[in-house]
Copies of this chain bind each other. A is one copy, B any other.
Amino acid sequence: MPLSMNDNAVSIFKRRESAARSYCRSIPALFTRASGSTLTTAEGREYIDFLAGCSSLNYGHNDPDMKQALIDHIAEDGLAHSLDLHTDAKGAFLTAFERHILRPRDMDHRVMFTGPTGANAVEAAMKIARKVTGRNNIIAFTNGFHGVTLGALAATGNGYHRGGAGADLGGVTRIPYDGFLGDEVDSADYLEAMLTDSSSGVDAPAAVIFETVQGEGGLNAASREWIERVAKLARDHGALLIIDDIQAGCGRTGTFFSFEGMDIQPDIVTMAKSISGFGLPMALTLVRPEHDVFGPAEHNGTFRGNSHAFVTARVAIEKFWADDAFQTELAEKAELLTEGLRRMADVVPGARLKGRGLMQGVDVGSGELAGEICAHAFEQGLVIETSGSDDQVVKVLAPLTTPAETFRKGLDIMFDATRAVTAKTSIAAE
């Protein structure tokens, strides 16, 4: 049985941790161990993890190869913190990243190690775009989520987070994301009209920034056509294209980058979450050489050289992305996931499947219902969370390495929870 917040073991959190704490409220347990797709509490209860650190643990907890490499590094007095000095760990990561990721995808991007948060990678990207173009305005989209520091927050749509600024958030023009206005309206038409009419009041943009699948925004997946068209509009109007691949990247949608197979070449790509492979803080901003305009330390940060993360990130690249095997596996798991979610959606009137690849979920129509499903699933041993502007989407972000059996077990729990909750609701309604 889950811990109560009044238990002795967790009273320290209540007493001393800021009220800003969040996930621990809906997932009231004290975790002590984790391995693969399994979380274990102090009492020894095991949970299947369909949250995976919000997609920061795409390769599961404590992957044995990364774990061993990291222990070896530490045991041998490898550097932990290295500012932006040259180290063997950083060099090895860069070499692997170039060889297995950038070169095979014909990407000539430079790697900027920013402060190790996604928001910092986004702030760097926005600053680069403004510096390159000499323009201020950045086009962002409804339901986009890019972080909560002041620059990134301006591009974030969520009103709750925006309200936390206590200051005006300027420099961003908001455009409806693909599908925001329903199926009949192509919001790229709208963007084109706004950029083309000289009296639209939308100033010439420095950049267009978006996620190809909006993780926090409710698993909205833009169509390939829309993405390619928006990318072309950006280029035609002299704006840089920034793909925020922080949540959707690192295999989450089925390929390393979420935009593979599309006819676009982003000027800037932001990465964080699973880039270290092990859940360690690390963030990158990939930038094409002609836009690599920062001078030395112009955008700096103390923890831009987290050597532990370089070690595990290198192993992750070499283990999972040196050939096609992992990617093939992901396609199969995505089908398994779609199937499981469809079964679940069938139980909820009006429910809709959202997302793509291993980044899917079900919009059950209300945040209340979604929350009850997750709570019920937690009781049955599954950690899972919601997303969307009203938290109305039950979101699966399982480790990509989750074994098929565990995956099915998790989906079964979700199905049972959905049936139980909707049954209860139906009875209450009668």
Contacts and interface: CB of A to CB of B under 8 A. Distances in A.
Interface in A99-137: 102, 110-113, 115-120, 123-124, 126-131, 134, 136
A84 interface: yes
Contacts of A128: 166
Given A32-B79, A118-B302, A120-B120, 10 more contacts: A16-B111, A18-B113, A28-B86, A34-B79, A116-B303, A119-B149, A142-B200, A158-B199, A170-B170, A180-B200
Given A10-B86, A33-B76, A171 B173 contact: no
A116 B117 contact: yes
A35 interface: yes
A84 B142 CA distance: 26
A87 interface: yes
Contacts of A200: 142-143, 157, 159, 174, 180, 389
Contacts of A16: 94, 97-98, 102, 110-111
A115 B120 contact: yes
Given A33-B76, A165-B130, A295-B19, A203 B148 contact: no
A376 interface: no
Contacts of A285: 18
B174 A171 contact: no
Interface in A243-296: 246, 272-273, 278-281, 285, 287, 292-296
Scoring A12, A27, A98, A389 by chain B CB atoms within 10 A of each residue's CB, the highest score goes to A12
One complex includes copies of this chain to the number of 4
30 contacts: A13-B86, A15-B98, A16-B98, A17-B111, A18-B292, A19-B295, A19-B296, A20-B292, A20-B296, A22-B296, A22-B300, A24-B84, A31-B79, A31-B82, A53-B83, A53-B302, A57-B81, A80-B280, A123-B150, A136-B166, A150-B150, A158-B199, A158-B201, A160-B298, A162-B203, A164-B294, A169-B203, A176-B193, A198-B390, A272-B302
A198 B161 CA distance: 10
Could you say which interface size class chain A belongs to?
Answer: 35 or more
A160 B198 contact: yes
Interface stretch (A66-74, A321-329, A350-358, A409-417): A66-74
Given A83-B53, A120-B149, A136-B167, A111 B142 contact: no
Contact of A142 (B12, B90, B115, B199): B199
Contacts of A298: 20, 148, 160-161, 163-164
A202 interface: yes
Contacts of A80: 34, 61-62, 278-280
A54 to B, nearest CB: 6
A53 B71 contact: no
Interface string A36-69: 0001001000000001011011000110000100
A30 B117 contact: no
A273 B296 contact: no
A112 B147 CA distance: 17
Q: Which 10 A-B pairs have the closest CB atoms?
A: A81-B279, A130-B166, A150-B151, A157-B201, A18-B112, A199-B389, A22-B297, A170-B170, A115-B117, A20-B294
Given A112-B20, A298-B161, A123 B149 contact: yes
B306 A281 contact: yes
Contacts of A118: 301-302
A48 to B, nearest CB: 15
A334 B302 CA distance: 24
Given A57-B81, A74-B67, A117-B302, A162 B201 contact: yes
